[in-house]
Amino acid sequence: METQVVSTLEILKLVASNLDASIKYRANDDAATNAKSVKLADGFNYVASNDATTTAEGPKSGLAITAEDNGKVTFGFRQSYS
């Protein structure tokens, strides 16, 4: 196995050039052809719904989303429901 020495500058160039790349995402087993995409530099934007209606369509309020360090995103209920 051959070892290759890579400089810090080469690594930074590699990372910076890949930030313009996109990643596809989808929810609830939606077809891959319906996937949306976002640039890696922009990142994901997790947003809790504020819909308080009682209809079955769409997400409802009450979900807490917390973005933490190292890519960790936590989902949970904002309050208890009975």
pLDDT score at 22: 85
pLDDT in tens, 41-78: 888 888 877 777 767 677 777 777 887 776 677 888 77
Q: What does the alpha-carbon distance between residue 34 and residue 26 come to, in Å, rounded to a whole number?
A: 7
pLDDT in tens, 1-12: 677 777 777 777
pLDDT in tens, 24-51: 888 777 888 888 888 888 888 888 777 7
**What is the pTM (predicted TM-score) of this model?**
0.53
Radius of gyration for the alpha carbons in the chain, expressed in angstroms and rounded: 19
Counts of helices then strands in the chain (DSSP H, E): 1, 4
Is pLDDT above 80 for 79? Answer: no
First to last CA, the chain: 61
